[in-house]
Structure 1
């Protein structure tokens, strides 16, 4: 399970789009070349440099709340990508194992899907949805460069302004072109890493929800075929065969359910620190960017912040929406089990069905940091927390102005 992928072997993986994107930005090695490790170090070093550069800028402008918060918003955005990259690099084997487990999970019910067009449509729809979601989010994130990168040249021509952190110690005079290029490259790379990992986990959760939906339909279609039961005792043997077949089908459904539950527990262990990192940084970045969009006197800063504002909220919403899909589809398994034709089934079928219903009624929750449940309610609470910090910054700004 922990065998590393190569670029060629990833072609058949369910997560190939996500894996190859993360490989291109220096996170997921799909090569055994030593040169790739050097590439990883360079990417990580760029993120560290961004933090050092931003820290120096904040230390020079800490009395100017507007300037300090703008730099801090960039630092937190880039820092989030760096922390996620660190989590991945620390334990790459778990991510390779997770990708292979996803492949196994999708193939778990492939036989049932191949014989039922409705089930096959659910799986194919989920895969198309994840591909569009990943590509759309990455393209939207890359489009922010069209707003942020040229804005200092357009809004402040001739002033030698930088896109993110200004070098106040030398008024942007030393290595201006190099600094401008490095800030653009770091901003693009770290944003792609951060959103790329969010899309990876959102993709997996959508695929898991689709597998639960398939399972719910399989359970709901369980029927005891007793078409000849009314002809007398001579049909008892045929009825017994029908009960045996239905019971075997139920056992297969229970095995599939157990495999999905095991995978969700494993996914929670891998995703939990990444989700917690994103939640914390999104709250901080959201309040800082909203503060800039509201109180900044520089129109170019306002335009940049308004265009960027949906991103921290969108990253959190990805997790909460996809995790809530799993919760809803897990509940649907219990409902489908109750609605199938268990009344006419034999006692062993009913006992097995009670076990399935009892387990399916337990909430299937994913957590951030193993303590914070990920669902739609969590999204609303995080938005409220971000707005509370924004209101606090607004009060501090009014007091400093007076």
Structure 2
């Protein structure tokens, strides 16, 4: 399961788009190439350089809250990508295992899906949804460069302004073109890495939710195996065979359910630190971006922050929406158990069904940092936290300076 992917093997994975996107930006190695490790070091260097440059810039503009928050809007976003890259590099084998388990999970219910067009449609829909979500979010993130990168040249021609952190120690006079290029490249690179990992986990959760939905429908349709309506007119042998088939199908459903639960535990262990990192930085980014959009005196900075505000919110919502789907579909398995034709089923069937119902009573919840539940309520609480910090910054900005 932990065997690294090659370019050809990644093409056979259901998460091909996610893997190859992360490979392109120096995160996911495909094959054993020593030069790729140098590429990873280069990407880390970009992230560290951005953090150092921003820290120096903030030290010069510390008393100017507007200038400081404008720098931090970009810095928090890119530092989040750097931290995520560090987590991924530390646990590469865990990520290889995760994706291979996803591919295996999609085969668990392939046989019943191949016999039922409704179930097959659910699986195909989830695959399309995951791919479209990934492509759409990554393109949306890249489109921010069209707003942020050329803005200083358009709004302040001849003033030698930089897109993000200004070099106040020399008024942007030294290596201006190089600094401008590095800021643009670093911003695009680290933001794509951050979003790429978010889309990877969101895609996996979409696929898991679909597998739970398929499982719930399989359990509901167990009534089709029951001969309750005409059981009296059947021979005892035929009636017994029908109930044995129903019991056997339920056992297969429970086996599929157990495999899905094992995978979700593995997913939670892998995703937890990345999700926690994103939650923390999204709250900070939304706070400073909202402050800039409200109190900024530079109209170009206001426009940039307004266009950027959906980014941190979207990253958090990706996790909360997708994880909530998993929780809802897991709860639907319990409803499906009540909906099947259990009244006239055999005692063995009823006994096993009770065990299944008892198991699914425990909510299937993914967490950030193994502490914070990921669901729609978490999204609202994080939005409230961002607004609270924004209000605090607003109060600090209104205080008279001595």
TM range (shorter): over 0.9
8 Å CA contact 1:226, 1:242 repeated in 2: no
Q: What is the aligned partner in structure 2 of residue 396 from structure 1?
A: 396
8 Å CA contact 1:76, 1:285 repeated in 2: yes
Q: Distance in 2 between matches of 1:231 and 1:133?
A: 53
Q: CA shift at 1:31, angstroms?
A: 2.6
Q: Distance in 2 between matches of 1:125 and 1:34?
A: 39
For structure 1, which segment, 29-38 or 141-150, has the greater mean C-alpha deviation from structure 2 after superposition? 29-38
2:231 matches 1:229: yes
Q: Distance in 2 between matches of 1:56 and 1:391?
A: 26
Q: Distance in 1 between matches of 2:400 and 2:366?
A: 42
Give the match's secondary structure for 1:89: helix
* Mapping for residues 22-37 of structure 1, pairs under 5 Å: 22-37=22-37
Q: Distance in 2 between matches of 1:401 and 1:27?
A: 45
8 Å CA contact 1:153, 1:161 repeated in 2: yes
Give the match's secondary structure for 1:8: helix
Q: What is the aligned partner in structure 1 of residue 382 from structure 2?
A: 382
TM-score (norm 1): 0.98
Q: What is the aligned partner in structure 1 of residue 104 from structure 2?
A: 104
- After TM superposition, where is structure 1 displaced by more than 6 Å over at least 4 residues in a row? none
Mark the runs of 5 or more structure 1 residues left unpaired by the alignment. Answer: none
Q: CA shift at 1:361, angstroms?
A: 1.6
Q: What is the aligned partner in structure 1 of residue 279 from structure 2?
A: 279
Q: CA shift at 1:69, angstroms?
A: 1.1
* Mapping for residues 27-176 of structure 1, pairs under 5 Å: 27-176=27-176
Q: Distance in 1 between matches of 2:6 and 2:355?
A: 41
Q: What is the aligned partner in structure 2 of residue 357 from structure 1?
A: 357
Give the match's secondary structure for 2:399: helix
Q: What is the aligned partner in structure 2 of residue 11 from structure 1?
A: 11
Q: What is the aligned partner in structure 2 of residue 367 from structure 1?
A: 367
Q: Distance in 2 between matches of 1:168 and 1:203?
A: 42
Q: Distance in 2 between matches of 1:299 and 1:226?
A: 72
8 Å CA contact 2:54, 2:165 repeated in 1: yes
Q: What CA deviation, in whole Å up to 9, does each residue of 1:142-169 have, x standing for no partner?
A: 0000000000001111000000000011
Q: What CA deviation, in whole Å up to 9, does each residue of 1:212-235 have, x standing for no partner?
A: 000000000002135652236xx0
TM-score (norm 2): 0.98
* Mapping for residues 309-388 of structure 1, pairs under 5 Å: 309-388=309-388
Q: CA shift at 1:260, angstroms?
A: 0.4
Q: What is the aligned partner in structure 2 of residue 189 from structure 1?
A: 189
For structure 1, which segment, 47-56 or 62-71, has the greater mean C-alpha deviation from structure 2 after superposition? 62-71
Q: CA shift at 1:76, angstroms?
A: 0.6
Q: What CA deviation, in whole Å up to 9, does each residue of 1:345-393 have, x standing for no partner?
A: 0111000000111111210000000000000000000000000000000
Q: What CA deviation, in whole Å up to 9, does each residue of 1:289-345 have, x standing for no partner?
A: 000000010010001000000000000000000000011101100000011000010
Mark the runs of 5 or more structure 2 residues left unpaired by the alignment. Answer: none
Q: Distance in 2 between matches of 1:155 and 1:18?
A: 36
8 Å CA contact 1:50, 1:186 repeated in 2: yes
Q: Distance in 2 between matches of 1:36 and 1:65?
A: 40
